[in-house]
Structure 1
């Protein structure tokens, strides 16, 4: 909550200890895709759509 007092602001927020902050905001590890991963996904979708239409070479 922010309240204006004259030309200053008072900000009210919880105070965290290092331990509490670490517990609440743990890092989540994510697998990062490479350009090749994205390309494989795009190409497989394209091939599947062409096969549905009967246009892909067999």
Structure 2
């Protein structure tokens, strides 16, 4: 999950540099959502003491 977040962040940065504002905003939004999902799963796994995924 964190791997996909990093991929979308890099995609957003590259799209922003090249001037594709809409694509950069979309990729950044997807990266933000994936990051928060990753954080929630990580916290659940810490609480349960097991690997969630």
TM-score, normalised via structure 1 length: 0.37
Structure with greater proportional strand content: 1
Which protein has the larger Cα radius of gyration, Structure 1 or Structure 2?
1
Question: RCO greater where, 1 or 2, for CA within 8 Å and sep 6 or more?
Answer: 2
Structure with greater proportional helix content: 2
TM-score, normalised via structure 2 length: 0.41
